[in-house]
């Protein structure tokens, strides 16, 4: 057993770290506070090939392993977590197409999505249903060679830039069990009846937009139904959510590492009672916990990612990584702020951004409450000797 990255992965991490340090960190505080869209960073991410991380090489992507995928999210989030949102659900959309798309769908969209010429997101959540996705009410009803989509999705990251946007819908609203009536349909920008109705104001995760989108008798070609077959949407969405959990876990590791770095820098610099506060045991205990927990979160994330690389379903492992790492990010960002004393509360320091960004990781890609139920269900299945 070797807990180190391969030479290739380590070199890739160095490239990502250098990019984040040069292109993101210097502008993060100002752009985040002003609400400015990070267009220049997006352009550089395109040049680095970050929109094609999960696109197979035959469609022009990088097709990286899941550990390298995690490394990208950790390094970007260490500089500014919001930036990771631009490639998070985009990557999941590309994975949906690569895994389940028809040859024609792959041909039509994947190469452009890999280069970043087109971008995407993932529309699952609705005003009335988030954790309970089978309760969604957005429908896509077949009429000839089209589906007519009606409904509202909310909290959709990248909604204004996503073209096409995969949307989880009910193609057979009365089906039992409910998931049998669910499908994913790709909706292109400019389709009449598809609009972004509002941007949602939020605590952190600034950079990418989070928006509500509306479908009013929106007619979408039947050829845009993912895989060309109805009833598979829930299964398709759940399978890519495993990668989503790795990206969220890795973002959390990045935020926790940034909290650890800032806390250590400040503790060494700041003096009280005639000495650096790092010399007080109360502060040392916090620093030790920060460093220990972030390393544990990182190793758990790499382990879960490496399980995905073996090609098996890793619902429990990716759930554990996301659950643990996001709780570590929450604790770390709070401790970092406390070590900064009053300055931690100031918008002139970065500690407060980490504190505002951390909670999202406990909510997105399955809330931590839901993930605990997923992990427990798998444990019970394993105990009974059932297949995961
Ligand atoms: C900034 C941001 C960006 C987002 N981006 C996207 C996106 O791009 N695409 C997208 O589709 N969605 C996105 N989301 C939505 C996100 O995935 C949902 O908010 C999340 O899944 C929770 O759903 P909900 O908000 O409806 O909460 P609910 O499902 O209503 O849950 C409310 C509370 O009840 C708990 N709860 C619910 N059911 C159970 C249960 N069975 N057992 C125990 N506890 C339970 C939850 O854990 C939570 O604490 C985003 C959200 C945010 C805040």
Report the nearest atom of ligand 1 relative to the CA of 365: 17
Classified as helix, coil or strand, 321 is helix
Q: What is the pLDDT of residues 230-287, one digit of tens each?
A: 999 999 999 999 999 999 999 999 999 999 999 999 999 999 999 999 999 999 999 9
CA dihedral for 194, 195, 200, 206, sign (positive or negative): positive
Q: Which of 231, 259, 280 is the last residue of a domain?
A: 231
Task: Determine the residue of 367, 368, 371, 376 to mutate for testing ligand 1's pocket, defined as the one with the most ligand atoms within 8 A of the Cβ atom.
Answer: 367
Ligand 1: residue whose CA is nearest its atom 13: 155
Q: Is residue 342 part of a domain?
A: yes
* Distance from residue 366's CA to the centre of ligand 1 (Å): 6
Say if residue 13's pLDDT is above 80: yes
* Distance from residue 323's CA to the centre of ligand 1 (Å): 14
Burial 95-113 (b: 16+ CB within 10 A, else e): bbbbebbbeebbebbbbbb
Do 241 and 225 lie in one domain? The reply is: no
Q: Is residue 81 part of a domain?
A: yes
CATH number of the domain where residue 38 is located:
1.10.540.10
Do 199 and 284 lie in one domain? The reply is: no
Ligand 1: residue whose CA is nearest its atom 23: 130
* Distance from residue 168's CA to the centre of ligand 1 (Å): 15
- Domain of residue 190: give its range: 133-231
Q: What is the pLDDT of residues 365-381, one digit of tens each?
A: 999 999 999 999 999 99
Ligand 1 contact, 92 CB (< 6 A): no
Residues forming a β-bridge with 334: none
CATH number of the domain where residue 156 is located:
2.40.110.10
User: Based on the structure, what is the number of domains in the chain?
Assistant: 3
CA dist., res. 104 & res. 91, Å (int) = 19
Confidence of residue 66 (pLDDT cuts 50, 70, 90): very high
The neighbour count for residue 374, using CB atoms within 10 Å, is 19
Confidence of residue 185 (pLDDT cuts 50, 70, 90): very high
Task: Determine the residue of 168, 251, 322, 370 to mutate for testing ligand 1's pocket, defined as the one with the most ligand atoms within 8 A of the Cβ atom.
Answer: 370
Q: Which of 198, 216, 231 is the last residue of a domain?
A: 231
Q: Decide: 254 and 360 in contact? Cβ < 8 Å.
A: no
Say if residue 68's pLDDT is above 70: yes
Q: Decide: 181 and 233 in contact? Cβ < 8 Å.
A: no
Report the nearest atom of ligand 1 relative to the CA of 132: 29
Q: What is the pLDDT of residues 21-63, one digit of tens each?
A: 999 999 999 999 999 999 999 999 999 999 999 999 999 999 9
Ligand 1: residue whose CA is nearest its atom 31: 131
CA dist., res. 194 & res. 93, Å (int) = 18
Report the nearest atom of ligand 1 relative to the CA of 129: 26
Tokens of 35: 């609400």
CA dist., res. 318 & res. 302, Å (int) = 10
Q: What is the pLDDT of residues 294-311, one digit of tens each?
A: 999 999 999 999 999 998
- Chain mean pLDDT for the chain: 97
**Checking phi first, is residue 193 left (phi over 0); if not, alpha (psi -120 to 50) or beta?**
left
Ligand 1: residue whose CA is nearest its atom 17: 364
Nearest to 81 by CA among 210, 242, 244, 250: 250
Say if residue 151's pLDDT is above 70: yes
What percentage of the chain has pLDDT greater than the value 70?
99
Q: Is residue 127 part of a domain?
A: no
Do 151 and 109 lie in one domain? The reply is: no
CA dist., res. 64 & res. 16, Å (int) = 13
Say if residue 313's pLDDT is above 90: no
Confidence of residue 1 (pLDDT cuts 50, 70, 90): confident
Do 241 and 369 lie in one domain? The reply is: yes
Active site residues: 365
Do 216 and 242 lie in one domain? The reply is: no
Q: Which residues contact 137 (CB under 8 A, 6 or more apart)?
A: 126, 128, 129, 151, 170, 173
pLDDT at 388: 63
Confidence of residue 128 (pLDDT cuts 50, 70, 90): very high
* Distance from residue 333's CA to the centre of ligand 1 (Å): 22
* Distance from residue 85's CA to the centre of ligand 1 (Å): 16
Q: Which DSSP symbol is given to 155?
A: E
pLDDT at 353: 98
Say if residue 343's pLDDT is above 80: yes
Task: Determine the residue of 121, 125, 208, 376 to mutate for testing ligand 1's pocket, defined as the one with the most ligand atoms within 8 A of the Cβ atom.
Answer: 125
């Amino acid at each position: 057993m070797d807990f180190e990255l391969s030479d290739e992965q380590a070199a890739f991490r160095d490239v990502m770290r250098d990019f984040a340090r040069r292109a993101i960190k210097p502008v993060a505080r100002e752009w985040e506070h002003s609400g400015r869209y990070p267009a220049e960073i997006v352009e550089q991410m395109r040049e680095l090939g970050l929109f094609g991380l999960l696109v197979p090489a035959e469609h022009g992507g990088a097709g990286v392993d899941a550990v390298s995928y995690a490394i990208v999210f950790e390094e970007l989030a260490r500089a500014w977590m919001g930036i990771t949102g631009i490639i998070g659900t985009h990557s999941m959309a590309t994975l949906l197409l690569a895994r389940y798309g028809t040859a024609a769908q792959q041909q039509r969209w994947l190469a452009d999505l890999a280069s970043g010429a087109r971008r995407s997101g993932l529309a699952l959540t609705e005003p009335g249903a988030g954790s309970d996705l089978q309760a969604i009410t957005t429908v896509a009803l077949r009429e000839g060679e089209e589906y007519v989509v009606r409904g509202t999705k909310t909290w959709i990251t990248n909604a204004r830039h996503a073209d096409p946007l995969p949307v989880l819908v009910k193609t057979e609203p009365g089906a039992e069990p409910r998931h049998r009536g669910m499908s994913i349909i790709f909706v292109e920008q400019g389709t009449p009846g598809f609009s972004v109705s509002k941007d949602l104001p939020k605590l952190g995760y600034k950079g990418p937009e989070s928006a509500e989108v509306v479908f009013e008798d929106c007619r979408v070609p039947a050829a845009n139904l993912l895989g060309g077959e109805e009833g598979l949407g829930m299964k398709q969405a759940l399978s890519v959510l495993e990668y989503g959990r790795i990206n969220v876990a890795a973002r959390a590791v990045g935020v926790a590492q940034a909290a650890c770095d800032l806390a250590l820098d400040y503790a060494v610099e700041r003096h009280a009672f005639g000495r650096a506060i790092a010399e007080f045991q109360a502060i040392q205990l916090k620093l030790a916990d920060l460093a220990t927990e972030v390393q544990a979160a990182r190793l758990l994330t790499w382990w879960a990612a490496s399980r995905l690389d073996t090609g098996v379903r890793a619902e429990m492992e990716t759930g554990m990584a996301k659950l643990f790492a996001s709780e570590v990010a929450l604790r770390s960002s709070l401790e970092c702020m406390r070590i900064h004393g009053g300055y931690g509360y100031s918008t002139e320091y970065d500690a407060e951004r980490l504190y505002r960004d951390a909670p999202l990781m406990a909510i997105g890609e399955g809330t931590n409450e839901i993930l605990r139920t997923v992990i427990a269900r798998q444990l019970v299945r394993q105990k009974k000797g059932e297949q995961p």
